[in-house]
Amino acid sequence: MIFSALKALTGDSFVIVWNDNALLIDGGMPNTYNFIRDKLSGKNLKAIFITHVDYDHIGGIMNLIKANEVEHNESKFYMNNPDLAAHYNGSEVRYSHGDTLDQMLNALGHKFLPMTNSLDPIIIDGLKITTLLPSEDTCKTLCENWNASRIIEDGKYSYLKRQKNNGDIINKSSIVNILEYHEVKVLMLGDSHADDVVEALVASKYKKFNMVKLSHHGSSHNTNKALLDEIECNKYFISTNGNIHEHPHSETIKLLSDRAIALGEVFSIYLNYDIEGDIRNKCQFEIKNLNFIFQQDVEL
């Protein structure tokens, strides 16, 4: 299995390749599409996953569908709620990013399939995909917030400028998947909340992973000690160019360092942009037991 983190600026876009098959998980910003197209060249694109409706996770997927250069007629499309798809017209995360992708898919004969932790694992040519999050209750809350933000202007749906997003529900509803191929296990955390992931992991009995894609670009709001204590892994991926929001946060780097020291190990922290210098400059402490690696493609 080859895990690839594409250049998606401050967003997420990943291609998982096994044999001649590929999965696309999120699409990053609109210009990420060029990297997606190149990475998928010659591969059988089996499925596309949108972990949640964020501008920096969906733009490239919209351009993939609009350009129609990548063969996806046999692909399946998944997201946390198939009624809430995507339209991008600005840089802010908004519910208005959620209506036109569904129409684009329908025009091509595609539709979104739901992905929640109530469903059985998906198996695609030997690759097993187990969904830990979101729950159906979380998706229900997402829909309630979404609908509460809708208004009708001139006979068309529009959205309140101050949208309902109780408890950061957009990120909280993010899909968390475990990818298994033979003995390799990869935990994809999207932009999920750490406490929710801990609860889901305990219930699932999964603990040991070959790679963990850290949540929300290394934000301190999405990684905590309890989560790292629940995971057995020495390879982590942080996806961001670090240009805004100070991602990854120094608090997250400290948690990783402390965990590695406690285990007497050295963790490999993979980066899809060469930002090790920036990380070290903003951390007001000596970073121990972490080996930063600027490498987009990781063979597992």
pLDDT digits (tens, 9 = 90+) for 191-250: 999 999 999 999 999 999 999 999 999 999 999 999 999 999 999 999 999 998 899 999
Q: Residue for token digits 């992991």?
A: 201
- Which of these, 214, 215, 206, 199, lies nearest to 185 by C-alpha position? 206
In angstroms, the CA 247 to CA 216 distance is 9
CA angle 131, 138, 51 (to 5 degrees): 45
Q: What is the pLDDT of residue 94?
A: 44
Give residue 133's pLDDT band: very low, low, confident or very high (50, 70, 90).
Answer: very high
In angstroms, the CA 54 to CA 59 distance is 9
- Which of these, 250, 264, 84, 221, lies nearest to 159 by C-alpha position? 84
Mean pLDDT for the chain? Answer: 88
Residue range 66-76: mean pLDDT, rounded: 91
In three-state form (DSSP H/G/I as H, E/B as E, the rest C), the secondary structure along 276-291 is HHHHHHHCCCCCCCEE
In angstroms, the CA 31 to CA 186 distance is 26
- Which of these, 244, 192, 232, lies nearest to 214 by C-alpha position? 192
Highest mean pLDDT among 68-72, 139-143, 208-212: 208-212
Q: What is the pLDDT of residue 146?
A: 63
Res 93 pLDDT > 50: no
In the chain, the domains with their CATH numbers are 2-299 (3.60.15.10)
8 A C-beta contact, residue 111 and residue 82: yes
- Judged by average pLDDT, the poorest of 43-57, 95-109, 115-129, 144-158 is 144-158
